[in-house]
Amino acid sequence: MAAAGAAAATTNAAMRWAAGGWSLFIAENLILSENRTWLIQQLGDEGYHGLYGTLSTVAMGSVAYGYRYKVRGAGPFAFAPGTRPSPPALAASFVLQALALGMASQSAPKLQIPVELVNGGSDDSHTAASGSIVSASGSIVSGSDPAPGRLAGGGGGGSTPPAATRESGSRFKIRCPFDFTDSRSQTGVAKGTPAQLKADGQTVDLHGLDRVTRHPGLWSFGLLGLGNALLVPSIPTRLWLSMPAMVALIGGSHTDSRHRRGMGGQLCEQVDEVTSNIPFLAMLMGRQDGGVVDSFVALGDEIKVLDGALAAAAAALWVARRGRGGGGARPPSMSGAGLAR
């Protein structure tokens, strides 16, 4: 039965288009990057990147064409079009998309609530650098004002701070919603190279997404596709949406292989031992300092919680919207036309 299913998949035009464009993209990336040194010698650096960009554009054009005209909504179907996915599929979709968006969110500056309650008089130096104070009377004193004692909008020229800023008690501080200085926005410097090692020359300086995977961008894209694949009934569309995960798995592994050999980058032995291409694999195998539990505790301390919470909320809303049924496939009368292509 499995052989019959595989044979049916290879004779289905929509299935071939679903996998074909992405397979071409993976193949041209592997072939060109593996022969990078020789091609640069023959074509020059500019010529190599021109060839690389051209072939990648052609491959992605076939991916887009296949989805638009051959794959989207075509049969066969995993469940009846217009009905809801199963509860396990919805749950798995949420987990995958929350992970994907959460990983992507960690690459952005840390989000923070733009109003903070602080003790009066105890945070003046920090306020001057990063925000403004709203006094109990509602007046705003900007931390960036060259005369901190001047009320916003006031006309006085004195430098003596107003009574409101000298009072003890709590005040609201207005600050930028993005914290560009937070340590959790930082990841390992010169990843994969000896520069990522600590002073002892052996311990790897891991931080945030460095712990999870060596290729967070690829896997964010891949997991997002897998999560969405569970929400659509069309099997060719599911295959098309799942292919970015193959790009992450194969492309990430090949990049690591090249970097171990010093081709286009570096991946030193110490970093290689405590990190992984597949997300969380190195952590679950206890290859990082402190074992499984300590590595996850450290990750929790290093991630930007508010960014991740917003990413999870976005994933929940998307799954709830897409999981209501009624979308994601052509009407049955059109699906046959898709199979005939």
pLDDT number for residue 297: 95
pLDDT in tens, the chain (341 residues): 444 445 555 679 999 999 999 999 999 999 999 999 999 999 998 899 899 999 999 999 999 999 999 999 999 999 999 999 999 999 999 999 999 999 999 876 566 676 677 775 544 434 434 444 444 444 444 444 444 444 344 444 444 444 444 445 677 765 655 565 554 444 444 455 565 676 666 778 888 999 999 999 999 999 999 999 999 999 999 999 999 999 999 999 999 999 999 988 899 999 999 999 999 999 999 999 889 999 999 999 999 999 999 999 999 999 999 877 654 444 333 333 333 33
- pLDDT score for 115: 67
Instruction: Return the closest-CA partner of residue 27 out of 59, 71, 1.
Output: 59
Q: Is residue 110 within a helix (H) or strand (E), and if so which, with residue range?
A: strand 110-111
The Cα 116–Cα 111 span in angstroms is 13
In degrees and rounded to multiples of 5, residue 100 shows phi and psi of -60, -50
The pair of three-digit structure tokens given for residue 167, joined into one six-digit string: 């009072």
Residue 94 — left, alpha, or beta (φ > 0 → left; ψ -120 to 50 → alpha)?
alpha
Q: How many Å apart are CA 82 and CA 338, to the nearest integer?
A: 18
Q: What is the pLDDT of residue 129?
A: 40
Q: Which two tokens stand for residue 40?
A: 């640069």
pTM for the model:
0.72
Six token digits for residue 319? 């799954």
